[in-house]
């Protein structure tokens, strides 16, 4: 066994600490994702790519997260569809590489836009449909139902418009506005 100098020991200690911290982040990001209605593996892949200095191949992601090729492929494809990950072509390479958006504000805007498209817009469609169907109903129960649908539709529409405005703002302006509102 060769003798290691202090610099090599520090470098190895840093690598081990980095690996542990990154694994903790990836694990926790996956747990948060599942609480937000996002597949745990999808969130973990996003965290891995978001914290990678270089684009990764599917094989590298599979090895790091100890997941199957099918699981990795399906979830990376979904991340690409969300606009959070993009494929990168490396000259002279046949493998596909992937990298995540690194700008936190852009990530938040993308997630907000996709969640609106996938969740808020369908919910609004149901509320509007129920509101329209119940518009002329006369029974007390039907009037209460209609009133509740109208109030829910107004609130969800308002929240959606606010989210659109905030996600459309430049990062610095949004932070200034938030500081004013919270200050």
Angle (CA) 101-108-112 rounded to 5° is 120
Does 1 reside within a domain?
no
Contact 106, 96 (CB under 8 A): no
Q: What is the DSSP string of 118-158?
A: IIIHHHHHHHHHHHHHHTT--SHHHHHHHHHHHHHHHHHHH
pLDDT (0 to 100) of residue 19: 92
Strands (E) in the chain, as ranges, are 56-57, 85-88, 97-100
Q: How confident is the model at residue 150, as a pLDDT?
A: 96
pTM: 0.76
Give the pair of three-digit tokens for residue 165. 């405005």
Question: Quick one: DSSP state of residue 106?
Answer: H
Residue 54 sits in a domain whose CATH number is 1.10.10.10
60 and 133 part of one domain: no
Do residues 80 and 159 share a domain?
Answer: no
Residues 65 and 12 in one domain: yes
Question: What pLDDT score was predicted for residue 63?
Answer: 96
Structure tokens at 80: 């690409």
Which domain, by its residues, includes 30?
6-100
- The pLDDT score that the predictor gives to residue 1 is 47
The span from the CA of 179 to the CA of 149, in Å, is 34
Between CA 100 and CA 51 the distance in angstroms is 8
Structure confidence at residue 3 (pLDDT): 62
pLDDT in tens, the chain (183 residues): 456 677 777 788 899 999 999 999 999 999 998 887 789 999 999 999 999 999 999 999 999 999 999 999 999 999 999 999 999 998 998 899 999 999 988 888 888 888 888 889 999 999 999 999 999 999 999 999 999 999 999 999 998 888 788 777 777 777 777 677 777
Q: Are residues 27 and 79 in the same domain?
A: yes
């Amino acid at each position: 066994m060769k003798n290691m100098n202090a610099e090599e020991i520090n470098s190895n200690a840093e690598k081990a600490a980095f690996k542990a911290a990154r694994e903790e982040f990836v694990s926790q990001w996956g747990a948060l994702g599942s609480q937000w209605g996002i597949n745990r593996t999808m969130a973990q892949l996003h965290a891995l790519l978001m914290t990678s200095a270089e684009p990764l191949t599917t094989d590298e992601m599979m090895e790091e997260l100890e997941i199957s090729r099918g699981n990795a492929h399906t979830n990376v494809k979904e991340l690409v569809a969300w606009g959070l990950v993009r494929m990168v072509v490396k000259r002279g390479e046949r493998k596909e590489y992937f990298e995540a958006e690194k700008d936190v504000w852009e990530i938040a805007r993308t997630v907000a836009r996709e969640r609106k498209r996938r969740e808020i817009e369908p919910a609004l469609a149901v509320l509007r449909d129920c509101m329209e169907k119940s518009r002329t109903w006369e029974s007390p129960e039907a009037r209460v139902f209609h009133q509740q649908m109208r109030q829910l539709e107004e609130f969800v529409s308002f929240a959606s418009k606010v989210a659109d405005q905030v996600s459309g703002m430049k990062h610095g302006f949004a932070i200034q506005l938030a500081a004013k509102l919270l200050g």
